[in-house]
Structure 1
Amino acid sequence: MAAISTEQAGAWLADYAQVIGENAAMLTDLDRQTGDADHGSNMDRGMKAVAALDVSSFDSPGALLKKAGMTLVSNVGGASGPLYGTFFLRFAGALDDGPDDASGLLGALRAGLEGIEQRGKAERGDKTMIDALAPAVEAFETQSGAGTSAALTAAAKAAARGRDEATDLIARKGRASYLGERSKGKQDPGATSMTLLLESAARTLGSA
C-alpha cells in the first residue's frame, strides 16, 4: 500500500489543475518578464488534460501519477512539460516502492526533485523551480516525524519562502538567464507554479 491513495492522488491533481487555471494569467505575466510568456497557458493546457483522466480507471496512485506525468510531457510545451512530467514520473515510481507513511511520501518528493535536477541540469540557486522544491523537501523531512499533514504544511511554507528568496537571484538557467543582471528582482514562474503544486499537496494529501 502506498503512502497516499489513488483517490487522494486524483484530488491533488484536480486541485492543482483548478489552481493553475485560476493563476494562469499571473504565471504567464511572470514569464513575460523573463521568458516566452507561455508558462501559464502551457501549464493550464497540460493540467486540463490531466484533470480529464478517469481516476477510477487506475489501480494505484503510482499508475495515475505516471499517466499524469506522461500527459504533461505530451501536452505542455517548452521546458515545463518535460520537467513537471519527470517530477510526476519519478514521484510515482518512488511512491509505488516506498512505505505507506510520511517517509514514503518524502522518498517520492525527493525522487521528483532529483528527476528535475537531472533533467534540467540545474541546482539550487539557479533561480528555477528547484529553489522552491528543494527547501520544501528539506522541510518535509524535518517535520515528517510529526505526520504527513504537518510535513506537507511545512513543505508548502518552505516552498513559498524559497520562491520569494529566488526573486533576488540572478538566473543561471533557462530563458531568464539571457537577461543576466536584469533577471534580479523578477519572480521566477517555475518556482511559483511549483509552490502552487506543494500548497495543493498540503490541502489534499494532508490526511494521508
Structure 2
Amino acid sequence: MGDTVDLDQFSDWMRRYAGVIHDNAPLLTELDSAIGDADHGSNMDRGMTAVVDALDVGEFTSPADLFKKVGMTLVSSVGGASGPLYGTFFLRFGGKLGAGPVDAEGLGVALHAGVDGIVQRGKAAVGDKTMLDAWVPAVEAYDAAASSGVGAALTAAAEAAAQGRDSATPLVAHRGRASYLGERSAGHQDPGATSTVLLLETAAETLG
C-alpha cells in the first residue's frame, strides 16, 4: 500500500471540508427545508467554523488527538441530529488512528469505527434515508479498493457515497425529522447523505 496520511494532512482535510461546507451551506439548507428543519447547512457551517477555530489555537501531537477535538467541538456546537452523529463519527474514527501516519488499511479500520458509531447513535440502517445510505456503501467500496492505496480507496468511497445518496432520494424516510412526512419525503435528496458525500470527496482530494 505504501502511501500514508499524516497529522498535517488530516488537519488540512478538516479545514478544506469547512470551506466546502460553507460554500454548500445554502444547498444543504435548501435540501433540509424540504424534509427537515431547514438548518443542516447553517448548523454544519457553524460547527465546522468552530472546528477550524479549535484547530487554529490547539496543539495536536497525533491524528487521534486532533479528531478527539474535532468530535467534541461538533457535539458541543452543532444543533439537531448532525452534531451528535458527526461528532460521534470523528470521535470513533480518531480513536482508531493512533499516534503516527496512517496507511490505507488503518484508515479503513477508522472509517468503519466511525460508521459503527453513527449506527449506534442514530439507530438507523441502509434504506432509512439517512446519511448511512451514503456511508455504508462508501466503506464497502473503500475496503474493495484499499489494496490500491489511500487515494484510490477514498475516490472509490466518495463515488459509492454519491451513488448511495442518489439511490436514497426516491425512498420514504424512516428515521429523523424527514420520517414525519411519510410518503411526502420520497423524491427529496437527504441533506445528511449530501454532507457525507462532500466529506468523502474532500477526503479523496486532500488525503489521496
TM-score with structure 1 setting the length: 0.95
Structure 2 match to 1:31: 32
Structure 2 match to 1:12: 13
Q: Does 1:63 find its partner at 2:59?
A: no
- Which aligned pairs between 1:133-152 and structure 2 lie closer than 5 A? 133-152=135-154
Structure 1 match to 2:171: 169
For residues 57 and 97 of structure 1, do their structure 2 counterparts lie closer, same or farther at Cα, with a shift above 3 Å needed?
A: closer
Identity %: 66
Structure 1 match to 2:119: 117
| Segments of 4+ moved more than 6 angstroms | none
For residues 155 and 113 of structure 2, what CA distance do their matches in structure 1 show?
Answer: 19
Structure 1 match to 2:81: 79
Structure 2 match to 1:50: 51
1:28-78 CA-partner distances (Å, limit 9, x unpaired): 010000010000000000000101223771001111111000000000000
Displacement after TM superposition at 1:4 (Å): 2.4
Q: Does 1:100 find its partner at 2:88?
A: no
For residues 148 and 55 of structure 1, do their structure 2 counterparts lie closer, same or farther at Cα, with a shift above 3 Å needed?
A: farther
For residues 112 and 157 of structure 1, what CA distance do their matches in structure 2 show?
Answer: 19
| Structural RMSD (CA) | 1.4
SS in 1 for 2:130: coil
Displacement after TM superposition at 1:11 (Å): 0.5
Paired residue type of 2:95? G
1:74-122 CA-partner distances (Å, limit 9, x unpaired): 0000000000000000000011289832110000000010000000011
Aligned residues between the structures: 204
For residues 25 and 58 of structure 1, what CA distance do their matches in structure 2 show?
Answer: 32
Structure 1: any 5+ residue segments left out of the alignment? none
Structure 2 match to 1:190: 192
SS in 1 for 2:158: helix
SS in 2 for 1:57: coil
Structure 1 match to 2:132: 130
User: Is the contact between residue 55 and residue 64 of structure 1 (CA under 8 Å) also seen in structure 2?
Assistant: no
